[in-house]
């Protein structure tokens, strides 16, 4: 099947098998290996990306279901060499150890902050409940998300992520 | 893991989807949000020959008023159900229950209709659907029919939908001004209910005028706690009265033992959670 998907501001048109998962499409076809796969059961959230502005587990979406949609991955966050405020807050607060959960955590944290620009600790914990971390014990992750919230007031919506027209191009692979 | 091969269509209307399902035959499957189906495909516990994706059918999304009922499109996502002002006003039990389902990512994709059609005994939305006496609207090649919730849930993962039928809408009578709570017991984040209790009450002063209570995972299908409801009606909303009523919670249940809980523990939970759910709803 032919699909057209905009990923991190670039539009791709590709022929894919219906059974191809969105995460495989991102990693194996587009080389966006920043998005990782941590489980086989849709539980870990490491594969979280934004689909039309909302967080989803990209291992639980078929690439064909993303036809006509806009996808943002962890690779589409930095601007002109500047980390996204949530990425910076993870760095500043030591919110990662092995880093495997980090791409998904950051994408989900951005989704959470778009819904609630100043979440308390409980709201952060609930907002990232679909993301598992085996290393940190979550403490510093929660701290980083709240820190980012303060940096970013009044909140980063899908708008904050939209890539400017100048950078967007069309690419076929 | 990677799913086995299948064909895929994404029709734009209900009529086209019904026809596609009929043409594709027994081995085809409908995909809604895919949040139960895709994990099953990845584990290769199912290998349908064709998927009919309902995701492009605009008429299946959204909530509207129809006289004294709300009509929830089967493809309305959990996320949209939670935030919908009509559901918040007239069917609060559905909103509060939905907010306990899974995690934010799954709620963005998973749908109200998909959850009901999936009929997992641990799924949270069947108990409130049963307690609120909703009606399921099904479309097939022979046209449309309406199935009361009390007849919809047949067994584990089995509903009254016939082969070739789609669940298209859910009609919910309005419960304007009712208070509601869903008490869900699980051990870790984003886990399924070991037991869940859905309660909606209409309170005047301190008196419980009407009550609706449904239980999750206390049988192969959701259970309506009629005994609890009858014991609550007309009572003052005191801790003693609620606790006494909750003693009826096991009527009509047939819990099973699994890795999370044995039968005696489930029975204990059902009573305790009923008491908590009704208490929270009355507040
Ligand atoms: C990590 C995780 C945690 C979860 N936790 C919970 C939880 O705590 N509580 C809970 O209730 N659920 C939970 N779920 C399940 C989630 O709520 C799903 O959204 C839901 O079970 C299925 O909805 P769906 O739209 O994704 O359906 P799909 O997965 O697309 O479909 C499920 C089944 O229903 C059939 N179907 C779907 N729609 C229709 C229709 N309109 N007509 C006829 N047949 C149809 C499909 O053919 C399939 O057999 C969880 C899921 C995941 C991945
Ligand atoms: S890889 Fe674990 S949820 Fe997607
Ligand atoms: S930092 Fe290792 S899994 Fe989270």
- ipTM for this model: 0.95
- In this structure, is residue A68 part of a structural domain? yes
The Cα B149–Cα B151 span in angstroms is 5
In Å, how far is A60's CA from the nearest CA of chain B? Answer: 6
Mean pLDDT along residues B184-198: 91
Backbone region of residue B133 per phi and psi (left: phi > 0; alpha: psi in -120 to 50; beta: other values): left
Which domain does A12 fall in, by range?
2-75
DSSP state of A25: I
H or E stretch including B70? strand B69-73
A24 and A46 inside one domain: yes
Q: What pLDDT, in 10s, does the model give residues A98-151?
A: 999 999 999 999 999 999 999 999 999 999 999 999 999 999 999 999 999 999
Backbone region of residue A155 per phi and psi (left: phi > 0; alpha: psi in -120 to 50; beta: other values): left
Strand pairing category for B195-204 and B166-173: unpaired
Domains of chain B in start order, with CATH, are: 7-53 (3.30.43.10), 58-173 (3.30.465.10), 179-282 (3.30.390.50)
Task: Give the ligand whose atoms come closest to the C-alpha of residue B116.
Answer: 1
A96 and A123 inside one domain: yes
Tell me what pLDDT residue A63 has. 98
Tell me the pTM. 0.95
Interface contact flag, B105 A18, Cβ < 8 Å: no
Query: Could you give the number of structural domains in chain A?
Result: 2
Tell the residue number behind the tokens 């992520």, with chain if given.
A161
The Cα B16–Cα B24 span in angstroms is 12
Q: What pLDDT, in 10s, does the model give residues B247-266?
A: 999 999 999 999 999 999 99
For B38, phi and psi rounded to 5 degrees? -65, -45
The Cα A113–Cα A117 span in angstroms is 5
- In this structure, is residue A171 part of a structural domain? no
Tell me what pLDDT residue B100 has. 96
DSSP A78-145: -BTTBPPHHHHHHHHTT--SS-SSHHHHHHHHHHHHHH-SS--HHHHHHHTTT---SSS-SHHHHHHH
A69 and A136 inside one domain: no
Tell me what pLDDT residue A166 has. 35
A68 and A107 inside one domain: no
Mean pLDDT along residues B97-121: 98
Q: Tell whether the model's pLDDT for residue A168 goes beyond 50.
A: no
The answer to whether the bond into A154 is cis (omega within 30° of 0) is yes
Tell the residue number behind the tokens 């009254």, with chain if given.
B160
> Which of A57, A75, A93 is the C-terminal boundary of a domain?
A75
- In this structure, is residue A80 part of a structural domain? no
Mutation pick for ligand 3 pocket among A39, A95, A96, A108 (CB with most ligand atoms within 8 Å): A96
Interface contact flag, A60 B38, Cβ < 8 Å: yes
């Amino acid at each position: 099947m032919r699909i057209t998907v905009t990923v991190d501001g670039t539009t791709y048109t590709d022929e894919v098998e219906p059974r191809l998962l969105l995460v495989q499409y991102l990693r194996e076809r587009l080389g966006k290996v920043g998005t990782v796969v941590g489980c086989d059961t849709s539980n870990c959230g490491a594969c979280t990306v934004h689909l039309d502005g909302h967080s989803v587990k990209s291992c639980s979406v078929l690439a064909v279901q993303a036809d006509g949609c806009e996808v943002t991955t962890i690779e589409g966050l930095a601007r002109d060499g500047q980390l996204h405020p949530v990425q910076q807050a993870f760095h500043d607060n030591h919110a990662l150890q092995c880093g495997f959960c980090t791409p998904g955590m950051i994408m989900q944290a951005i989704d959470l902050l778009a819904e609630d620009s100043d979440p308390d600790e409980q709201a952060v914990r609930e907002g990232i409940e679909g993301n598992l971390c085996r290393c940190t014990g979550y403490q510093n992750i929660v701290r980083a998300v709240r820190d980012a919230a303060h940096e970013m007031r009044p909140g980063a919506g899908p708008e904050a992520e939209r890539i400017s027209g100048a950078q967007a191009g069309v690419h076929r692979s | 893991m990677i799913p086995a091969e299948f064909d895929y269509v994404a029709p734009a209307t209900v009529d086209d989807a019904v026809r596609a399902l009929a043409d594709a035959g027994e081995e085809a499957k409908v995909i809604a949000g895919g949040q139960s189906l895709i994990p099953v495909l990845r584990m290769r516990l199912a290998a349908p020959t064709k998927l009919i994706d309902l995701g492009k059918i605009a008429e299946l999304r959204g909530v509207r008023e129809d006289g004294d009922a709300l009509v929830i499109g089967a493809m309305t996502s959990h996320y949209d159900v939670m935030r919908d002002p009509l559901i918040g006003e007239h069917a609060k039990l559905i909103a509060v229950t939905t907010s306990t389902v899974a995690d934010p990512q799954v709620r963005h994709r998973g749908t109200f209709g998909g959850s009901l059609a999936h009929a997992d005994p641990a799924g949270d939305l069947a108990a409130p659907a049963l307690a609120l006496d909703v009606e399921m609207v099904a479309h097939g090649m022979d046209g449309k029919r309406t199935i009361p919730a009390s007849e919809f849930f047949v067994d584990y993962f089995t509903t009254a939908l016939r082969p070739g039928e789609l669940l298209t809408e859910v009609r919910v009578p309005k419960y304007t001004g009712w208070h509601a709570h869903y008490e869900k017991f699980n051990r870790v984040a984003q886990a399924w209910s070991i037991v869940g209790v859905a309660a909606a009450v209409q309170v005047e002063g301190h008196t419980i005028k009407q009550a609706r209570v449904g239980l999750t995972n206390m049988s192969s299908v959701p259970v309506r706690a009629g005994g609890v409801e009858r014991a609550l009606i007309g009572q003052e909303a005191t801790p003693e009265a609620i606790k006494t009523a909750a003693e009826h919670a096991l009527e009509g249940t047939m819990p099973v033992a699994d890795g999370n809980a044995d039968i005696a523990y489930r029975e204990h939970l059902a009573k305790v959670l009923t008491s908590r759910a009704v208490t929270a709803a009355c507040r």
